[in-house]
Structure 1
Amino acid sequence: MNPPPASPARLPRVVQIGFHKCGSRSFEQLFERAGHRVLKHKVRGPFGQRRNAARLMRDNLRAGRKIFAGIEDYTFYADINYHTETDSFEPIFHFREMLRDYPDTILLLNVRDREDWIRSRLRHGHGEFAQRVMRQKGLTSLDAVAEQWRQDWDRHLADVRAFMAERPGQLVEFDIDRGSAQELVARFAAYGLKAEDWGDIGRTRGVKRHPLVAWLKRTWAHLRPRRTT
């Protein structure tokens, strides 16, 4: 009897380490439509409960476990963050630990024009997200929030580029404003992605809504119950 064929080697995981509001949903669609498992924001536990993936990653680091312990069976990790009224954790800043624990990981640094990104983040959730960050960090104005984000952006991109200078094969930097889908697909040739699956998903700039609908969405964004811990 002939032995069964060997299983193909598992593709390295790809982790998005660019900021929220930089095309995350478009990247998710690209990988999902190619048949890859994608982890975004929350993960379902063994008893059906849903848990914030970023908080799980923080708990792993604090307990001395590998950063993706319990959520290792995915190919693409995107838009994972944790923000409450008093607490936050953004795994994108922990790319060093990702590579320490999983040395073959490929990092995707997704970027766009920085000031456009800040304006988009300020509008996110009809302004509720920025208000929450302001309370969380004890900032006194939206201008202070914007300046904090500006500093975070510059520092993070500089840190990633410096650290990955000796590992160029494991960093894919993609500008969603200037890069082409064909270029992106070519950088991930082994993953079977298709350029036609790339799209500008989640974009709200220029969307016109009935005033009542707009008011209801804005009011719900600011008043809906949220975790405080």
Structure 2
Amino acid sequence: MPPKFFQIGFNKCGTTFIARLFDLNGIPAIHWAEGALADDIAYSRLTGRAPLQRWSRDTVAFTDMESVRFLNMPVIEAFKDYAFLDASFPDAVFLLNTRDVDDWVASRYLHWGGRYARSYAACLGVPLADLGDIWRQDWHDHIAGCRAHFAGRDRFLDIDIDRAAPEDYRDALAPWFDLPVLPKAPGAGVRQARKSYPERLQKMLQAPASDIRPDRRDKLAARLAGLARPARLTGRTGCPGDHALLLDLDLVRLTDSKGAAQPVTRGPDGRFYQDAGHFELLRTTSTANDIAQLTDTGRYWLDMRPACLTGSVQPAGGPVIAGLRRRGASDVFLWPAPWLHRIGNAGFPGAGIADDPPFDDRPDIAVWRGALSGYAQDPGAQDLHLRVEGALGDHPDAQTIRRSARWRFLKAHAGMAGTDLALRADGRTRRALKAAGLSVPMRDDAPQGRYAICLGRSDGDADFLPLANSHAVVLKEEDGWESFATGLCKPWRHYIPLASGGADLEARLDWARANPDECRRISGRARRICEGLADPAGRRAHLEQVLAAYRAATGQG
């Protein structure tokens, strides 16, 4: 087997080209893996284990080893751990890929429409405009460190991607890898896009910042903290339920309901890192980082599954922090869902939408796109024990899919005049529907209509807030779930309410079309709510009050 190969330059430096070079020649390579490579290396270094054990048996090449997530997780640039990787794989080949530093900074700023940079700045706690100087210094320090560490080593390659042709990679790697098939070099489209960098970057950095008055911030934080409190407290203070995990900041550990330690560790930077093999913990680890940035003491039970049934369908053994609860649930404190309410996320309120036409410039249609999610329904009631996602496996359950609220909505309304309603299905869903012999409209593109439909039974504000932050008016299904912001948004003031299953969709659209001025006002009030939610100082004040109330409810002062 050939030696291991590690690309140790920054992202936005041709990393995809390098990964494709190996792929095209049948050499097993893994690129980024949605941050899992970086997560594994960082966790392994902190815990003293060998890195990349999940992949090292079968994988040769590792590229883009970084993790910058749109939630409160540490920025991990594991390619900087070249000394650790060198010690762990002493025969490995290392490639430092570089380019013009100013072009690289601009490319990084504009990556993923600016969401990457916003997420990075939020994690460092610095203004967006400061990233340029930080990144340039980081660039020079890293390159100097690599060259000093590998000085005189024939298994260290240094390639400037601006000057290198595809053949140069093949020739440089020839002593260890047979790479006769070469990817195409970046074309004219890429070069043309680079010419637009300065103008796009200037527009991004000059975007006006939100300016929330202190009195408004304080009122909003207090109101959100009040809405986060449970409908009632039972007085119990034990483990809330089998699905809860305990974050103990005094002992600095995360355990399950039976006391078993979870694969999460705290780094010297004060942030929690997790084993990449446990993706199901990501919501909880992110919330642990939220809490650890607000306080350094206390014990907190967390249930950050997409939907928490504790205190409603399932009895609560004590207070718990969750991202979504049933209306009226006891002992459940609400927390912003980590998957959405973070700076950098595409749906983050107030982050700005690249293409958001005014209400009057949008086509006069109602649009819905969404996944098959939520729970299957019994006639006249909702079965909160049977999640639809469980019916989409290798042996799909057609009966459960047909009972899902979203399936019924599409079957009832798809093709209705003045609407564009379709399932946004991933490959797994498409395969499941085909195997089950089921069919509904499926499209990935979505026109920006005047009326945006938000169906419930999903991740709560993960659907609603991005729509409310646009110039469309939202028609929102009332489904009995509450998130941290649900109580702020009122029917007919911030959205147009829809009955369960969208049974009154036609009547609601008739009203909206007859009242365009009020629709514009509803949309404007919803965007103002989103602006307040996007204020970092207000978010901190709100969450500090939630934690104080939780500690009081659990006898922690």
TM-score (norm 1): 0.78
Compare relative contact order (CA 8 Å, sep 6+) and give the higher one, 1 or 2.
Answer: 1
Alignment match, 2:100: 113
Alignment match, 1:39: 30
Alignment match, 2:151: 165
SS in structure 1 of the partner of residue 81 of structure 2: helix
Q: Is the 8 A contact 2:31 2:64 kept in 1?
A: yes
User: Structure 1, residues 109-135: CA drift from partner, whole Å, max 9, x if none?
Assistant: 011100000010010011111111111
Residue 70 in structure 1 maps to residue 61 in structure 2: no
From 152, 176, 179, give the equivalent of 2:161.
Answer: 176
Alignment match, 2:346: 222
Amino acid at match of 2:113: H
Amino acid at match of 2:28: R
The aligned runs of 1:46-195 (5 Å cut-off) are 52-72=36-56, 73-84=58-69, 85-86=71-72, 87-142=74-129, 144-167=130-153, 169-189=154-174, 190-194=176-180
1:59 offset after TM fit, Å? 1.5
Structure 1 runs, 4 residues or longer, greater than 4 Å off = none
d(CA) in 2 for partners of 1:166, 1:66: 26
SS in structure 2 of the partner of residue 172 of structure 1: strand
SS in structure 2 of the partner of residue 178 of structure 1: coil
d(CA) in 1 for partners of 2:37, 2:114: 24
Q: Is the 8 A contact 1:23 1:200 kept in 2?
A: no
Alignment match, 2:185: 199
1:179 offset after TM fit, Å? 1.4
User: Structure 1, residues 31-62: CA drift from partner, whole Å, max 9, x if none?
Assistant: 1001011111228xxxxxxx722112212112
Amino acid at match of 1:223: G
Q: Is the 8 A contact 2:98 2:160 kept in 1?
A: yes
Alignment match, 1:4: none
Q: CA RMSD in A?
A: 2.1
Q: Is the 8 A contact 2:10 2:64 kept in 1?
A: yes
In structure 1, stretches of 5+ residues that fail to align are: 1-9, 44-50, 208-219
Amino acid at match of 1:75: V
1:193 offset after TM fit, Å? 1.0
Which one has a larger percent helix, Structure 1 or Structure 2?
1
d(CA) in 2 for partners of 1:19, 1:91: 10
1:70 offset after TM fit, Å? 2.1
User: Structure 1, residues 187-214: CA drift from partner, whole Å, max 9, x if none?
Assistant: 111422136324328x75646xxxxxxx
d(CA) in 2 for partners of 1:127, 1:141: 10
Larger Rg: 2
Query: CA 1:83–1:221 in structure 2 vs 1: closer, same or farther (change >3 Å)?
Result: closer
In structure 2, stretches of 5+ residues that fail to align are: 194-343, 349-461, 463-557
User: Structure 1, residues 8-48: CA drift from partner, whole Å, max 9, x if none?
Assistant: xx1111100000000011111111001011111228xxxxx
Q: Is the 8 A contact 1:38 1:77 kept in 2?
A: yes
TM-score (norm 2): 0.33
Alignment match, 1:30: 21
Q: Is the 8 A contact 2:37 2:65 kept in 1?
A: yes
d(CA) in 2 for partners of 1:171, 1:195: 22
d(CA) in 2 for partners of 1:88, 1:71: 22
d(CA) in 1 for partners of 2:55, 2:178: 23
1:221 offset after TM fit, Å? 6.4
1:83 offset after TM fit, Å? 1.6
Amino acid at match of 2:182: E
d(CA) in 2 for partners of 1:200, 1:79: 18
d(CA) in 2 for partners of 1:140, 1:131: 9
Q: Is the 8 A contact 2:14 2:161 kept in 1?
A: yes
Over the matched positions of the two proteins, sequence identity in percent amounts to: 26
Moved more, 120-129 or 84-93: 84-93
d(CA) in 1 for partners of 2:91, 2:167: 24
